[in-house]
């Protein structure tokens, strides 16, 4: 089970996207459900959904058939 790695603090949207991209780049096999992503990045569900959708729309992540998010190869 993933746990929160950073306390919830205000963070600019650009900085948040940069941090999340960095984590997927550092861990090539990273695969997260929306709930795991919320916990890992200390975001509420709405914020997390927005960020994940932005990364999917930007072709950095894709959503698998089971709902998990992985980096586009």
Q: Which domains does the chain have, with CATH numbers?
A: 13-71 (1.10.10)
For residue range 17-65, what is the model confidence (pLDDT) as tens digits? Answer: 999 999 999 999 999 999 999 999 999 999 999 999 999 999 999 999 9
Which two three-digit tokens encode residue 20?
């999340």
Give residue 14's pLDDT.
87
Q: Which residues pair with 70 in a beta bridge?
A: 31, 62
Query: How does residue 6 score in pLDDT terms, banded at 50, 70 and 90?
Result: low
Burial class of residue 65 (count of CB atoms within 10 Å of its CB; 0-12, 13-18, 19+)? exposed
The SS3 assignment for 9 reads coil
What is the distance between the alpha carbons of residues 56 and 72, in angstroms, rounded to a whole number?
A: 9
**Looking at the whole model, is its pTM more than 0.95?**
no
What is the distance between the alpha carbons of residues 13 and 3, in angstroms, rounded to a whole number?
A: 22
């Amino acid at each position: 089970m993933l746990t929160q790695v950073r306390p919830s603090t205000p963070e600019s949207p650009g900085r948040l996207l940069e941090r999340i991209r960095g984590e997927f780049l550092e861990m090539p096999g990273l695969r997260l459900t929306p709930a795991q992503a919320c916990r890992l990045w200390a975001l509420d569900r709405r914020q997390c959904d927005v960020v994940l959708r932005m990364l999917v729309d930007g072709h950095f992540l894709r959503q698998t058939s089971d709902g998990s998010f992985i980096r586009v190869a």
